[in-house]
């Protein structure tokens, strides 16, 4: 083993807390890191399907990926207890050459960063090249992050937000004032009318769709972030049917493992001929619109590629800035 590899293997594992992640991250850098990753060749074997172990009211999801940078590979684990409404997120990052465990990162904030930043990347590639009129359905963590990130990388002319709780939508709007021209509205169709972009990051309590395709104006770009499991719904079958192109971060999982796509298939909506990967969009291999009036949908379930790429960016910054806790012990790579 070379001296360089030996030195790299002996470096301590760095632990980054949620507060560390907050201090290191910013929206434009997250979008730029993802744009670089998606512009590189990524084989399916580098980002395999997620797995999930289920218990009684509990589940453990595992997402793994090899970064196209050639630097690291990693895993995000999500442990959840739905009855207690508790969850933990952990990202482990390994050096691709030495197999040294380079970092353990609290993945809670990373999940929000990568979801919003990937949506913003999709919108930079799909939405009109002008100041945008944005509709937001939802007023929670994901909706706020998606709008914050979009506003950090694109000019936003106006925003209309709907959520079913008046206090929540007003609080959401107040968060963005006065920097953003934002109005809280009392009907989702009022938010969507004449929008260039619809950001949908909400689900109803009974899992009925919160966005109807009948409301969508021609040429709109829809982002759906809130439904990632078979039992979850966010957009209706008509939304899926009206989309000239459906861009997905994980096309196979979107088609077979999301409630929106499952319901559309049951209704006779054929998705396969319109479903493309975000990577193909980023590399210019597909043209999402053939006419200005075409509706395009970006459907996200989340990807370990996104987690690992953001984790790599955070680790590099942490090392430069001296942020994080060097663990006193770590695992030792062994010869196999």
Predicted confidence at residue 205, as pLDDT, reads 82
pLDDT at 3 exceeding the cut of 70: no
pLDDT at 160 exceeding the cut of 60: yes
78-81 own/partner pairs: CB under 8 Å, 24+ apart: 78/107, 78/111, 81/57
Residues in the chain: 336
Whole-Å CA distances, 330 to 9, 88, 100: 10, 21, 9
Query: 2-6, 8-12, 43-47, 50-54 — which is least confidently predicted?
Result: 2-6
Name the phi and psi angles at 181, rounded to 5.
-80, 95
Residues in a beta bridge with 80: 59, 87
Strand order in the sheet with 86-95: 51-54, 58-66, 72-81, 86-95, 101-106, 14-16, 325-326
Same domain, yes or no, for 277 and 311?
Answer: no
Predicted confidence at residue 174, as pLDDT, reads 97
Same domain, yes or no, for 103 and 247?
Answer: no
Predicted confidence band of residue 11 (pLDDT cuts 50, 70, 90)? confident
Same domain, yes or no, for 168 and 48?
Answer: no
Predicted confidence at residue 66, as pLDDT, reads 98
Same domain, yes or no, for 11 and 102?
Answer: yes
pLDDT at 9 exceeding the cut of 70: no
SS3 259: helix
Give, in degrees to the nearest 5, the angle at Cα 100 between 95 and 101: 90
**CATH at residue 140:** 3.40.50.720
Same domain, yes or no, for 132 and 207?
Answer: yes
Say what the pTM is: 0.92
Please count the structural domains in the chain: 2
Percent of the chain with pLDDT over 90: 91
Whether 333 is in a domain gets the answer: no
Same domain, yes or no, for 215 and 309?
Answer: no
Q: Which one-letter DSSP state was computed for residue 202? A: -
Predicted confidence at residue 8, as pLDDT, reads 55
Whether 336 is in a domain gets the answer: no
CB 320 within 8 A of CB 84: no
- Residues near 44 by Cβ (< 8 Å), separated by ≥ 6? none
pLDDT at 204 exceeding the cut of 50: yes
Return mean pLDDT, the chain: 94
pLDDT at 215 exceeding the cut of 70: yes
Whether 32 is in a domain gets the answer: yes
Separation of alpha carbons 3 and 116, rounded Å: 40
Whether 186 is in a domain gets the answer: yes
pLDDT at 4 exceeding the cut of 50: no
Residues in a beta bridge with 81: 58, 86
Closest CA to 246 of 270, 229, 226, 267: 270
pLDDT at 102 exceeding the cut of 90: yes
Predicted confidence band of residue 310 (pLDDT cuts 50, 70, 90)? very high
Same domain, yes or no, for 56 and 116?
Answer: no
CB 212 within 8 A of CB 190: no
Separation of alpha carbons 327 and 73, rounded Å: 20
Same domain, yes or no, for 285 and 313?
Answer: no
pLDDT at 295 exceeding the cut of 90: yes
SS3 121: helix
Residues 16-39 as b/e (b if ≥16 CB within 10 A, e otherwise) read: bbeebbeebbebebbbebbbebbe
Predicted confidence at residue 19, as pLDDT, reads 97
Strand order in the sheet with 182-184: 182-184, 156-162, 132-137, 197-200, 221-224, 295-299, 243-248, 275-277
CB 118 within 8 A of CB 249: yes
Same domain, yes or no, for 179 and 252?
Answer: yes
Q: Please compute the mean of the pLDDT values over residues 77-92 and round it to a whole number.
A: 96
CB 199 within 8 A of CB 136: yes
The boundaries of the domain holding residue 221 are 112-299
Predicted confidence at residue 34, as pLDDT, reads 97
Whether 160 is in a domain gets the answer: yes
Whether 51 is in a domain gets the answer: yes
Separation of alpha carbons 91 and 77, rounded Å: 6
pLDDT at 186 exceeding the cut of 80: yes
Separation of alpha carbons 258 and 231, rounded Å: 7
Same domain, yes or no, for 167 and 290?
Answer: yes
Name the phi and psi angles at 238, rounded to 5.
-70, -35
Predicted confidence band of residue 336 (pLDDT cuts 50, 70, 90)? confident
Predicted confidence band of residue 92 (pLDDT cuts 50, 70, 90)? very high
pLDDT at 61 exceeding the cut of 50: yes
Same domain, yes or no, for 192 and 275?
Answer: yes
Same domain, yes or no, for 159 and 232?
Answer: yes
CB 52 within 8 A of CB 69: no
Whether 33 is in a domain gets the answer: yes
Separation of alpha carbons 171 and 21, rounded Å: 25
Whether 159 is in a domain gets the answer: yes
Predicted confidence at residue 206, as pLDDT, reads 85
């Amino acid at each position: 083993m070379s001296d360089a590899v030996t030195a790299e293997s002996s470096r301590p594992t760095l632990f980054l807390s949620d507060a560390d992640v907050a201090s290191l991250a910013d929206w434009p850098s997250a979008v730029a890191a993802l744009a670089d990753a998606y512009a590189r060749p990524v084989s399916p074997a580098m980002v395999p399907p997620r797995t999930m172990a289920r218990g009684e009211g509990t589940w453990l999801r595992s997402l793994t990926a090899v970064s196209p940078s050639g630097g690291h590979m990693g895993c995000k684990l999500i442990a959840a207890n739905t009855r207690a409404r508790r969850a933990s997120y952990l990202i482990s990052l390994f050096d691709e050459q030495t197999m040294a465990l380079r970092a353990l990162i609290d993945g809670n904030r990373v999940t929000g960063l990568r979801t919003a930043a990937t949506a913003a990347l999709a919108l930079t590639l799909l939405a009109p090249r002008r100041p945008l009129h944005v509709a937001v359905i939802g007023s929670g963590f994901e909706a706020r992050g998606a709008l914050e990130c979009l506003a950090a990388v694109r000019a936003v002319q106006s925003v209309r937000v709907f959520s079913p709780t008046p206090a929540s939508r007003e609080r959401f709007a107040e968060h963005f004032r006065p920097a953003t021209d934002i109005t809280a509205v009392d009907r989702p169709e009022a938010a969507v009318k004449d929008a260039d972009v619809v950001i949908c990051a909400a689900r109803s309590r009974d899992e009925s769709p919160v966005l109807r395709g009948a409301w969508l104006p021609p040429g709109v770009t829809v982002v759906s972030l809130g439904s990632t499991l078979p039992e979850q719904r966010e957009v209706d079958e008509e939304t899926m049917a009206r989309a000239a192109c459906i861009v997905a971060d994980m096309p196979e999982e979107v088609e077979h493992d999301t409630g929106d796509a499952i319901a559309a298939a049951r209704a006779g909506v054929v998705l396969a001929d319109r479903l493309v990967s975000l990577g193909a969009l980023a590399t210019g291999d597909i043209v999402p619109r053939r006419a200005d009036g075409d509706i395009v949908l970006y459907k996200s379930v989340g990807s370990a590629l996104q987690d690992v790429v953001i984790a790599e960016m955070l680790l590099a910054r942490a090392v430069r800035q001296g942020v994080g806790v060097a663990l006193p012990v770590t695992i030792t790579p062994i010869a196999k």
